[in-house]
Structure 1
């Protein structure tokens, strides 16, 4: 059965939503809107230019015609008498077929000073001529104006101008602009058709491009959802053709996820160590407390009547009290080390400390063969009490876990800018599993004696000095503990 997770599905649904509120739709709409504005602006400019150019041609022809008539001393009577002239015949006197034409390309008619159409050569006026006289209106104003005007004659568009003859008659001249408007209308429809096709093509290409470019972001969402479900090992994969910004985001996110995973693992490990530490500390403290409580109860009930028994019980109480005190001191030492204590740094002769530790071990175990390789003086800027504790715990580890006849070697040398302290014994050694946990708190290989805090304190003190500690061991080959202090803390005498 598929289980709904509160993090995974809402994230993917919100990102993969193809509605108007998705980033993919918004980018597409923005591109389409910009192109639409560009098409509209380009179409408007082109139509305005075309209209201006064509109207200028029409107006130029009308103005030339008006100037030619205005420069001659024509009157309406001269026009009647000059009926054989080509202009009068072709322009002012239309053919009979023009009566059937609702929108001729050009119209010429004579009007009097009242604006009424006047016939020429006894030819009846056409509807176009009558309509032109009616639409033109004030002929004197047209004659005085420098340019033609737009008029509508019987539903058709024209450009009209006028010229005054010598006898006061006005000749109206009009040229049709229907072809111009039809051409502009066709151009507009063509622009809109091509523009619409371009918009559809742009929308499709934008959707495809954005989908491909947004794929890394979808991978990031899927990775985040998987991590929210508990898979901390997931990382954002690299795309085939990533953009620089997306690749930088991917690398930053993967780096952050690595840090999150490391922090989570560290927290889990620390929590497990803390639980184990609390349990081990409780167990270690419970043992001496139980022994002390038991002897005190025996003494309280009067069951220790023999002086020898009372003495033995008292010695056991003191021993357990000392053991508990040492355990508490070691725990306090570890707690201070965990809090990064301020060390009292000064020049310390590490060779002298090594020789003192060897002499202490000889006094405690005279039969143990001990060799020391720490001649001369080697000054180290460190906390003397901390280094003494390190050597004391290492010697105590040897004394507790190896027989008294096992040889021990203490070596001290400076090499490659670091100081190395080696404590090597020829004891039974440790297996690989025990060696991996040798610095864990309360860990005792094979359940041996001791509190299990000695090497943990050694590691804490060495780390506080900026150094490191390592072990080399194998079953039957003894144990070698190497303490390394960095060169910045070491000064040769």
Structure 2
């Protein structure tokens, strides 16, 4: 099936066409108004001259006999035909006179017999006596040429017809129309050229947008619409909005690719971590199935190893489930939590597990934050478990808790262990990441710390130097709903204090990351 083709039109061509049509209409309207005014002005001048001649003849009260007794016809014509006022450079129009007797026929006037042209004028006038009585100005045609005619009555009943040709008026109007058409055509051509050039310059940013969109469609997500020296406000707003959208699209694409890569690496790491205990359990079961564990001590050892691997796999699955739930951004049960109490509880647990480790806790007084107690307890426990699993028991540990001037609560866990390289410190919160030489652990403990802290709108950072230990800093936002509770924590106290409230602390997950 062949799809119908849609005709496309250039926006520049449409703008040019609209401007040209509008200007053409304006020129046509202006030409019509000017020609109408010119015609009215010229005809009015002719009518005034005819009216003045008729009034002058009637005021003279001459008879036909008195007119013929005059010696000079030229003086009579000068009296009847004064100079045209305001005619400018226009040629003097043709004027015809004819005397009509009482019987209605042309008669001798000024000693001259009626000419054929005068007879045609008398015939075209119809009733010249009625025309003279009405004082009206009539429009006649002689041999196709237009004339304006009036009638004047003499003292003896003779009527004089006077007609002036208006052919010059129409010729002047025709010349003016040609000039207007020529000038208007030139204006239209100049407007079309200027509109095309201006539209091309103005719409160039749209062409840049098309080029940018085409480049992005081909895979270049870094392309942006360039700016111009003298941008149009609306197009500049569109450019900024489009660039902002493209930035969001690129960020979303990069985030999606990074998330997809992390997911693939996460699945691969999880499969590898789960395969190790499963392989061990399967191996011991095969040994048992083949009867190779004949001694009770060997069977007990195999059962102990399978139980340990099953526990390890259970902890790994629990941590994966915890991360999966945190990734879904669950709704936390936020309430006031004394973070200093959680720190002392976790420090007591570490002191009980490693009594010979030097441990210093600076968390005197209450330090209340708005958060989920179980999640925050897991954060503190995982940080200390990370120290316990990856440092020697003789390495000192310092736990500090303080509040900034802005109300933020800052938890710091620092040790004097082997430390790590800066590039490893940047990846310590990656899932299943373990630095070279790391000991036990699943590699998920620090990932859980980051997920829980971010769910509380906080931040967590790690800085380390090989041979100089590792420092992890957790920053939580100020408590909402009033003045932050709690005072400064400055006095150092040894580990071993009993928990002040709540039940026993839960065993933290084995933290990984070193």
TM-score normalised to the size of structure 1?
0.88
CA contact 1:380–1:492 (8 Å) conserved in 2: no
Find the aligned partners of 1:492 and 1:368 in 2 and give their Cα distance: 29
TM-aligned CA deviation for residue 85 of structure 1: 5.8
Find the aligned partners of 2:425 and 2:295 in 1 and give their Cα distance: 47
CA distance 1:104–1:443, shift in 2 (3 Å): closer
- Alpha-carbon deviations, 1:355-385, whole Å to 9, x = none? 2212211222223221111223322232111
Q: Which of the residues 202, 215, 221 maps onto 1:226?
A: 215
- Alpha-carbon deviations, 1:438-464, whole Å to 9, x = none? 111111112633111000000011111
Spell out the pairing of 1:419-430 with structure 2 (5 A cutoff).
Answer: 419-430=409-420
Match of 2:147 in 1: 158
Match of 2:485 in 1: 491
TM-aligned CA deviation for residue 108 of structure 1: 0.4
TM-aligned CA deviation for residue 269 of structure 1: 0.9
- 1:289 matched to 2:283? The reply is no
Give the stretch that moved more between structures: 467-476 or 243-252.
243-252
3-state SS of the aligned residue for 1:134? Answer: helix
Match of 1:478 in 2: 469
Match of 2:457 in 1: 466
CA distance 1:87–1:153, shift in 2 (3 Å): farther
- 1:324 matched to 2:313? The reply is yes
3-state SS of the aligned residue for 1:422? Answer: strand
Match of 2:446 in 1: 455
Find the aligned partners of 1:412 and 1:20 in 2 and give their Cα distance: 69
Find the aligned partners of 2:148 and 2:469 in 1 and give their Cα distance: 117
CA contact 1:111–1:170 (8 Å) conserved in 2: yes
CA distance 1:282–1:147, shift in 2 (3 Å): farther
Find the aligned partners of 1:262 and 1:20 in 2 and give their Cα distance: 34
Spell out the pairing of 1:58-207 with structure 2 (5 A cutoff).
Answer: 58-71=46-59, 73-82=61-70, 84=72, 105-112=94-101, 116-120=105-109, 123-207=112-196
- 1:26 matched to 2:14? The reply is yes
TM-aligned CA deviation for residue 491 of structure 1: 2.5
- 1:57 matched to 2:48? The reply is no
TM-aligned CA deviation for residue 422 of structure 1: 0.8
5+ long unaligned stretches in structure 2: 1-5, 81-91, 488-514
CA contact 2:95–2:162 (8 Å) conserved in 1: yes
Q: Which of the residues 258, 279, 284 maps onto 2:268?
A: 279
CA contact 2:99–2:160 (8 Å) conserved in 1: yes
Find the aligned partners of 2:74 and 2:211 in 1 and give their Cα distance: 87
Match of 2:229 in 1: 240
Match of 1:269 in 2: 258
3-state SS of the aligned residue for 1:159? Answer: strand
- Alpha-carbon deviations, 1:374-421, whole Å to 9, x = none? 223322232111111111111121112112221111111112221111
Find the aligned partners of 1:391 and 1:293 in 2 and give their Cα distance: 36
Match of 2:510 in 1: none
- Alpha-carbon deviations, 1:149-207, whole Å to 9, x = none? 22222333221112344555432101122222222222222222222212211221222
Q: CA RMSD in A?
A: 2.6
Match of 1:48 in 2: 36
Spell out the pairing of 1:396-415 with structure 2 (5 A cutoff).
Answer: 396-415=385-404
- 1:433 matched to 2:423? The reply is yes
TM-aligned CA deviation for residue 77 of structure 1: 4.7
Find the aligned partners of 2:147 and 2:71 in 1 and give their Cα distance: 26
CA contact 1:128–1:154 (8 Å) conserved in 2: no
Find the aligned partners of 1:322 and 1:79 in 2 and give their Cα distance: 146
CA distance 1:233–1:55, shift in 2 (3 Å): same
CA distance 1:116–1:315, shift in 2 (3 Å): farther
TM-aligned CA deviation for residue 118 of structure 1: 3.0
- Alpha-carbon deviations, 1:93-115, whole Å to 9, x = none? xxxxxxxxxx9710001235675
3-state SS of the aligned residue for 1:354? Answer: helix
3-state SS of the aligned residue for 1:487? Answer: coil
Find the aligned partners of 1:388 and 1:65 in 2 and give their Cα distance: 120
Find the aligned partners of 1:472 and 1:431 in 2 and give their Cα distance: 9
Match of 1:351 in 2: 340
Find the aligned partners of 1:148 and 1:245 in 2 and give their Cα distance: 62
Find the aligned partners of 1:120 and 1:295 in 2 and give their Cα distance: 151
TM-score normalised to the size of structure 2?
0.84
5+ long unaligned stretches in structure 1: 1-13, 93-102
| Number of aligned residues | 467
TM-aligned CA deviation for residue 306 of structure 1: 1.9
- Alpha-carbon deviations, 1:118-162, whole Å to 9, x = none? 333663432321232233233244334443222222333221112
Find the aligned partners of 2:98 and 2:150 in 1 and give their Cα distance: 11
Find the aligned partners of 1:436 and 1:205 in 2 and give their Cα distance: 60
3-state SS of the aligned residue for 1:423? Answer: strand
Find the aligned partners of 1:196 and 1:123 in 2 and give their Cα distance: 52
Pick the structure with more helix per residue.
1
CA distance 1:145–1:401, shift in 2 (3 Å): farther
TM-aligned CA deviation for residue 214 of structure 1: 1.3
Match of 2:325 in 1: 336
CA contact 2:73–2:110 (8 Å) conserved in 1: no
